[in-house]
A = this chain, B = another copy of it.
Amino acid sequence: MARIVTFGEALLRLGTPGFERFDQARSFDLEIGGAELNTAVGLVRLGHEAAWISRLPDHPLGRRVHSFVRSHGIDDRHILFGDGRQGLYFLETGAAPRASSIIYDRADSATARLKPGDFDWPAIFAGIDWFHVTGITAALSSNAAEAVKDAILAARNANARISIDLNYRAKLWSPEQAGRTMSHVIKDCDVLFASENDAKLLFGIDGDFAEMAKQFSARFGVKAVATTRREATSLWRDRLHAIGWQNGQTIETTAMDVEVVDRIGSGDAFAAGVIDGLLADDFAAGLHTGLAFAAIKHSIRGDLPLAAKDEVQSLLRGDGLRIRR
């Protein structure tokens, strides 16, 4: 069991029921998630302790998020409350050939309004083994970007290892802004989660996965790179595999078939698995755990990987699909 810190924003997800279009909406189902929160919950499920650092609005919607976070066994001691909105996103779930659609409504949120000095980073990182953050947090505001850099510095000082998920969001910042900021953030990180697409867009890195990983290593000192690939010819069924690079070696897992209840958050579940592997110094195991965790996430409504460690292990052992009685 390791101790992990993640840092980010949580959004209320307001999803139309079933496959209803926004045009037809009469109600919204509420889920709560955020990339770093999702990964923190995943790590708790895998047997670790995780704290989630954030700033929530000091009104009932912020407290709704707080209670949700607590319910999943997350260490909530460093969460701040203050002014600003509760970030939202609206979700319409598609069916082929109609893609799913998200409307973000997160500008000016309590998290985006955080100020340098809000968090006592050295205290937060005391005794911590790992720090995880994504590009989304850095994109929220310039203050948030500063806070991410401060957190990384503090994490390094505390000898915590660091993982970064690029997670580029075009609605939040331009590729140039993202590239500039993230080139500082990802420096020397222990593992970077990145797609070839984003690598190209933010850093002008060309080539296949192995080439991309080498470039990240060469230019930024990144120690490992990982991602998942989906074959997505459908929205209800998919086929995933993971690919990773470490020390010049590329590892590619076999693929897993998934029936898709909800694909949101699967990348964050994958990150949790990879971190779990790296905490045990076994990158290949991390890729497999991450893939299995991501695969199971597809079967779960909401952003969180609400699966137990033994379910992940059972999937890796090849246990079948019979009803568990």
Contact = CB atoms under 8 A, between A and B. Distances in A.
Contact of A306 (B23, B85, B236, B257): B23
Interface string A24-35: 111111100000
B98 A307 contact: yes
Contact of A24 (B17, B102, B306, B315): B306
Interface string A256-268: 1111110110000
Contacts of A85: 105, 107
How many subunits of this chain does the assembly comprise? 6
A26 B301 CA distance: 12
19 contacts: A14-B14, A23-B63, A23-B67, A27-B29, A60-B103, A61-B103, A67-B73, A70-B72, A71-B71, A94-B321, A95-B298, A97-B257, A98-B311, A99-B321, A232-B320, A232-B322, A233-B257, A234-B259, A236-B259
Closest 5 pairs between A and B when the two form their complex, measured CB to CB: A71-B71, A22-B60, A95-B299, A95-B259, A98-B299
A64 interface: yes
A100 interface: yes
A321 B234 contact: yes
Interface of A: 14, 17-30, 59-61, 63-64, 67-68, 70-73, 85-86, 88, 90, 92, 94-105, 107-108, 169-171, 232-237, 256-261, 263-264, 292, 295-296, 298-302, 306-307, 311, 315, 319-325
A22 B311 CA distance: 14
A173 to B, nearest CB: 13
A236 to B, nearest CB: 5
B257 A102 contact: no
Given A99-B321, A102-B323, A92 B301 contact: no
A323 B238 CA distance: 14
Contacts of A301: 18-20, 24
Given A30-B28, A60-B23, A321-B99, A70 B68 contact: no
